Amino acid sequence: MANDNGNETQGRNQSFLFINKTSTTLAKNPEESFTISSHVSKTHRRWLKEERLRKLHASSGKAVVQRSILPAKTQTQAFGPARLAPPAVYTSARTVTSSNQPQGGRGAPGAPTSGPVTAELSAWTSGYPEHSRAVYHFEDGQATDDQEHGIPVKERRRRVRAGDRPPLTPFRGNSDPFSVAALPLAAQDHEILRQAQRFFVFVACPDNRSAVWRAPIADSSSSHIRLRQTIGDEAEVHAVLAAGYAVTAKSSKHDYTRSLARGLYHKTKAVELLRDRLMQHGFSQSVTTLIRLLISLDFEASDNEAALIHLRGLWAMAATTPGILMDAQELLRVSDAWISISLLKKPEISPARYDPGDRLSQPFGELLDALQREHGIFAHKPGVVSRHASSAFDGTMWSLLDSAQEIVGTKAIMDRIDDSDLLHEVIMWMNKRSSAVTGYCTTGYVENTEKAASSSTQAQGHGAESVARTLMAAACLCAMMFMNFQFLDLPTNYNFSKTCQKIEEVLQGVSKRVEHARRPEQYTDYLWLLFLTAMGNDVFSARGDIPYSPWPVTEFHRVRDRLRFADQHEVVAALHAYPRHAKTDVFLLELLDHGHDESPTTHIVPWSRWCGILNHA
């Protein structure tokens, strides 16, 4: 009795994983009876077929002569020759022929027969009443499928091996009625599934300000992943387990190698099952979650090329079957923007497809402008920077800078919004708008780089057009990094440290040509780009992402001296014509105060102070 109570207590405290059921619907309902009985019949026939294939495989590959299947007994037979005599109604008896002799020739004139002795011997050996006509196979019989249609030996061996292959996981759900159960979870599996809820995936329309671009799986309203439904699919279970091991690898140094190996195993299995599912059933709604998980897994592992392949496949399938995946554009646009940043390429999805327009075109545009003025936050004034005469940037470039300034100003005012409905509308708009602006920036970088290379070839590398295009290519990357400075307080922000290094590489390559061009309008643009590069280098090196580089600071002071500013106020006024924020002004003053120092060897602002400036958690 004590043991029974102990087992009862242990079962009550044990965790369970419900497959195709919940804790309140474990009982079988009447509608499942037919499904289960049909499944039993189908499974039994398949088992009989696999057993027969195993026996054929064990016969050393020799050809086995398939004999005809005789009809079932019509009555109970007894031993003795009297009971074995054929009834009088049958006019002829079945004759025993060679396996090479066609049965269709029996009874034909001139055909050799064995006579009544052979017929009597046949009746003794068979024990069945005989018919007057030839015996044929049962039509459409499950037991004779392989006898009617010859199957090569290699195909039989493949099927036998497939029958012996164990399932990849115990979570086989969907149409299998026997998977309707509550499976006890091991402690390790339960922990991995719990860790997987912390894995971040790209979102469509977030519900809170901390999930503007990505959200954890547990936040189902933003991630659009229902974990209870996902674990009912074998392929998605592998993807979720891979996500859990990815979180474990980042949080534990001791299990880092093992977690990476286990995560790679489960991700490989998920890709294998995805390929099989697409070959057998094509594109369906269930494939969407699986591919989204694979995109986030590859992006987290910095395998951006693999993530791009998954994204292209899902977008192509969704474009050809819009009825199956109506919101594929919403689910993929953020991941498309981030992958384009990582690879510095044009996005697969045109930003014009989902761009909601600038803030003033929204119903809440004027309200946010008034709120910014009320709290003394720098308000966005479209068109002010575009009228800056002494600049080499064209109108398209200034429009991108205006959009980046607009996003930064909106993010700064979000904490001042008390109306929850208004806040939700602002978040949804900023999510789409920031993704679109990012797509415009990566597109602008690629196009300006190509035009700069073309102009450089025509003008032997010293043309003003080539220099201007190179500066605008760097400005596109700086616009994205400028927006990121405002979003560093989010735990899922994109790490722009590599982008900062790319900006420095571009500016180092154009520095000599800027000096040879001797165009004052390019100097001010170049100075602002150097300032943002120096700030990015200071932030990311203080955080430990990249090593510190003193070149942007040294080059900034050299160009500032060339422009012959009277004092620091003129420098600040010149840079305020470009996108700015209070956070950038803090670093600008620190940079100007260190103007007379030698080449710095470390970041100017310590990380502890950067955490306060950037609201970094």
**pLDDT tens per residue, range 74-115:** 444 444 444 434 444 444 444 444 434 444 444 444 444 444
Give the three-class secondary structure for 113: coil
Report the alpha-carbon distance of residue 44 to residue 374 in Å, rounded: 76
Check pLDDT > 60 for residue 429: yes
Check pLDDT > 50 for residue 575: yes
Check pLDDT > 70 for residue 559: yes
Question: Would you say 392 and 523 are in contact if contact means Cβ atoms under 8 Å apart?
Answer: no
Check pLDDT > 60 for residue 126: no
pLDDT reported for residue 388: 53
Q: Which residues contact 144 (CB under 8 A, 6 or more apart)?
A: 69, 137, 138
Report the alpha-carbon distance of residue 533 to residue 321 in Å, rounded: 44
pLDDT reported for residue 143: 39
Report the alpha-carbon distance of residue 336 to residue 425 in Å, rounded: 22
Question: Would you say 259 and 196 are in contact if contact means Cβ atoms under 8 Å apart?
Answer: no
Q: How does residue 67 score in pLDDT terms, banded at 50, 70 and 90?
A: very low
Nearest to 29 by CA among 40, 21, 39, 18: 21
Which single residue is written with the structure tokens 């327009």? Answer: 357
Check pLDDT > 60 for residue 537: yes
Check pLDDT > 80 for residue 116: no
Please provide the DSSP assignment of 438-507 as one string.
HHHHHHHHHHHHHHHHHHHHHTTT--HHHHHHHHHHHHHHHHHHHHHHHTTTSTT----HHHHHHHHHHH
pLDDT reported for residue 24: 63
Check pLDDT > 80 for residue 595: no
Question: What are the residue ranges spanned by the domains of the chain?
Answer: 15-21+37-52+141-184, 187-349, 359-613
pLDDT reported for residue 582: 82
pTM score of the predicted model: 0.68
**pLDDT tens per residue, range 252-293:** 878 888 999 999 999 999 999 898 888 887 777 678 888 889
Q: How does residue 16 score in pLDDT terms, banded at 50, 70 and 90?
A: low
pLDDT reported for residue 594: 79
**pLDDT tens per residue, range 390-404:** 788 999 999 999 999
Q: Which residue has the higher pLDDT, 188 or 355?
A: 355
Q: Which residue has the higher pLDDT, 223 or 208?
A: 223
Report the alpha-carbon distance of residue 349 to residue 79 in Å, rounded: 82
Q: How far is CA 98 from the centre of its chain?
A: 63
**pLDDT tens per residue, range 303-358:** 999 999 989 888 887 777 766 555 566 778 888 999 999 999 999 989 998 899 99
Report the alpha-carbon distance of residue 341 to residue 299 in Å, rounded: 12
Report the alpha-carbon distance of residue 275 to residue 238 in Å, rounded: 14
Which single residue is written with the structure tokens 């005809």? Answer: 68
pLDDT reported for residue 82: 44
Question: Would you say 269 and 236 are in contact if contact means Cβ atoms under 8 Å apart?
Answer: no
Beta bridge partners of 202: 214
H or E element, residue 422: helix 420-458
